[in-house]
Copies of this chain bind each other. A is one copy, B any other.
Amino acid sequence: MSLQQISEQMLPAIELELRKMVGLVLWPELDEMHHMLAYHMGWEEEGAGAEAGGKRIRPLLVTLCASAAGGDWLKAIPGAAAVELVHNFSLVHDDIQDESHTRRGRATLWTLWGVAQAINAGDALFSLGQLAALGLARTVSEQAGLQAGLVLQETCLHLTQGQYLDLSYEGRQDLKVADYWPMVAGKTAALLSASTYIGALAAQAPPEICESYRQFGEGLGLAFQAQDDWLGIWGDSALIGKSTASDLVSRKKSLPVLFGLSQEGIFAGRWRQGPIHPEEVPELAAQLEAEGGREFVEKETDRLTKQALEALARAKPQGDAGDALGELADYLLMRKA
């Protein structure tokens, strides 16, 4: 069975569990609160559908890892819902913090219901995520529930640390490549590593196997982010499409930019002068490439991809789900099969 076929089995079960958890907020006085959460999850209002909900990569990692580690993926479903709910909690709060008006092609929660209700809706998703994780106590064992709860909270703490760094970098001109990794470790890699780890926990895999799955998720997260940052400057939509899509215009503190700043060359000089116009994008991207930024990011991505795949190999993933995990990693990291 291919990744696609396995996903078609797993995704409906994941969606059902997500709806069950969000359904905990469904009593008559709370209709509108439930509606906010259902809107954000992509289930209600104009534009509702799979695209509005996102790809559900994280919960899929949980069920795939559970199955590849020799467990029953159905028992891992509470853990899958947990990581997706936590991911969505962080998106709701991120959108307020970044003053983002759209997400997945639709208006963000705070633009529709205001900042106060959006903070609260995020908090509710946070609680629901943690409640879901503790549900592994029912489907697997008390110990698995407790472990998943601990891992998820440590992850959330790590998320807030990454977010703190991201916010604190605002307006700073002295950032270096070394400032990039702790931010991305918290903002992106923490939840991916929690996903693969919780999947292995739900399969009651031995500690060293759980740890290999954790490292796989962590490497995957770091490699994915480095690659995403590459795309944000040299990808087609950033460079050839409307250059407003470029991270250079949005001034994102991405890996290529931090590399460029540390070079103290022409790129760094121009960056520090202030806002970059869309028309400048192709030339500035070429300048950053000439200063070695493109090659640096490609090497980092390769290094991290290799780390992730080695960790996956150490985890000895089994069966169709094991193959599908490799396929998912290739897809996320845009590697040719």
Residues of A near any B CB (own CB < 8 A):
24-25, 29-30, 32-33, 93, 96-98, 115-117, 119-121, 123-124, 126-128, 130-131, 134, 137, 142-143, 145-146, 149-150, 153-154, 156-157, 159-161, 163-165, 167-168, 179, 182
- Report the bound CA distance from A130 to B45 in whole Å: 33
B150 adjacent to A93 (CB under 8 Å):
no
Using Cβ atoms and an 8 Å threshold, which residues of chain B touch A182?
Answer: 29
A120 adjacent to B149 (CB under 8 Å):
no
Using Cβ atoms and an 8 Å threshold, which residues of chain B touch A120?
Answer: 93, 97, 160, 163-164, 167
How many identical subunits does the complex contain?
A: 2
A115 adjacent to B134 (CB under 8 Å):
no
Using Cβ atoms and an 8 Å threshold, which residues of chain B touch A116?
Answer: 96-98, 167
Q: Which of B93, B145, B156 contacts A127 (CB 8 A)?
A: B156
Using Cβ atoms and an 8 Å threshold, which residues of chain B touch A33?
Answer: 160-161, 164, 168
B167 adjacent to A123 (CB under 8 Å):
no
Q: Which of B30, B131, B146, B156 contacts A123 (CB 8 A)?
A: B156
Residue of B nearest to A117 (CB): B167
Q: Which of B30, B134, B157, B160 contacts A150 (CB 8 A)?
A: B134
A97 adjacent to B119 (CB under 8 Å):
yes
B168 adjacent to A153 (CB under 8 Å):
no
Given contacts A33-B160, A33-B164, 6 further A-B contacts (CB under 8 A): A24-B157, A93-B120, A97-B116, A121-B160, A126-B126, A131-B153
A149 adjacent to B130 (CB under 8 Å):
yes
A-B complex: 5 closest residue pairs judged by Cβ atoms: A97-B116, A124-B160, A127-B156, A127-B157, A33-B164
A-B contact pairs, 11 of them (CB 8 A): A29-B179, A30-B161, A33-B160, A96-B116, A123-B159, A124-B160, A126-B126, A130-B153, A134-B149, A142-B146, A146-B149
Q: Which of B29, B96, B131, B165 contacts A119 (CB 8 A)?
A: B96
A137 adjacent to B146 (CB under 8 Å):
yes
- Report the bound CA distance from A168 to B97 in whole Å: 22
B24 adjacent to A164 (CB under 8 Å):
no
Which of A128, A159, A163, A165 neighbours the largest number of chain B CB atoms within 10 Å of its CB? Answer: A163
